[in-house]
Amino acid sequence: METFGQAYPATFEVDRAERIANWRPLVQWLLAIPHFLILYGLQLVARAAAVIGWFAILFTGKLPEGLANLLCLYIRYNNRASAYAGFLREEYPPFVYDTVAPEPGNYPPVRNGFAPELGERNRVTVGFRLILAIPQIIVVAVLAIAAIVVWVIALFAVLFTGRWPEGLRTFIVGYMRWVTRLEAYIGLLTDEYPPFRFD
């Protein structure tokens, strides 16, 4: 089990699979399609919740807990579906929709932790959130290209060996952790700027 002592209010961890069946990289993305269809709907709802939360924070200085928990659900569901489709784990993720910030523990190999800031929010940084996030968005877009290349290389490695090469897996998990932090920041779960690092 990997653990990362992160101080950032959004965390992502995934247990290393000792072995992945060689055929899984070829079909897991297909098996994940139902999750991605649900995820599309959740994304639309989460984006609407973020807009409502933006106005709520600007006018009241507080993020409603229900909106925060909905955003946590979206990020958690996205990470579980992506970890499965990306053949980091073999266990099929459950169709559960816990609108809570703490990790509910119903998919133990993939864990997300959130500590949403609900009150005493910085209205200035919230008002300019998308502008402030531009450097992070650019870095994540470049990393996404590298992640696609790494996933393709890993596909062949797992097909032939049944194992993820350590460096490739570390990069992908780090990339997913970075995206989790950025989603939490853009989704207004925190005012703390995401660090420019994988760990």
C-alpha span between 59 and 161 (Å, rounded):
55
CB distance 83 to 173 below 8 Å: no
Q: What is the largest CA-CA distance in the chain?
A: 56
For residue 131, count CB atoms less than 10 angstroms from its CB and return exposed for 0-12, middle for 13-18, buried for 19 or more.
Answer: exposed
Helix or strand run (H / E) with residue 13: strand 10-14
Instruction: Give residue 4's pLDDT band: very low, low, confident or very high (50, 70, 90).
Output: very low
Instruction: Give residue 2's pLDDT band: very low, low, confident or very high (50, 70, 90).
Output: very low
Over residues 92-99, mean pLDDT: 92
Q: What is the pLDDT of residues 52-81, one digit of tens each?
A: 999 999 999 999 999 999 999 999 999 999
- What are the distances in angstroms from CA 41 to CA 68, 143, 185, 197? 17, 25, 21, 30
| Residue 161, number of CB atoms within 10 A of its CB | 12
What pTM value is reported for the model? 0.91
Residue 1, pLDDT above cutoff 70:
no
pLDDT at site 102 = 86
pLDDT cut 90: percent of the chain above it: 90
| Residue 113, number of CB atoms within 10 A of its CB | 18
Buried b (16+ CB within 10 A) or exposed e, 29-58: beebeebeeebeebeeebeebbebbbebbe
Instruction: Give residue 7's pLDDT band: very low, low, confident or very high (50, 70, 90).
Output: confident
Q: What is the pLDDT of residues 154-188, one digit of tens each?
A: 999 999 999 999 999 999 999 999 999 999 999 99
| Nearest one of 78, 69, 79 to 12, comparing CA atoms | 79
Over residues 108-135, mean pLDDT: 94
**Residue in this structure with the two tokens 């194992």, named with its chain if needed:** 163
Provide the residue ranges of all domains of the chain, joining segments of one domain with +: 10-186
Q: Write out the two tokens for 9.
A: 């209010």
Q: Write out the two tokens for 37.
A: 């269809």
Q: What is the CA radius of gyration of the chain?
A: 17
Residue 11: strand, helix, or coil? strand
pLDDT mean across residues, the chain: 93
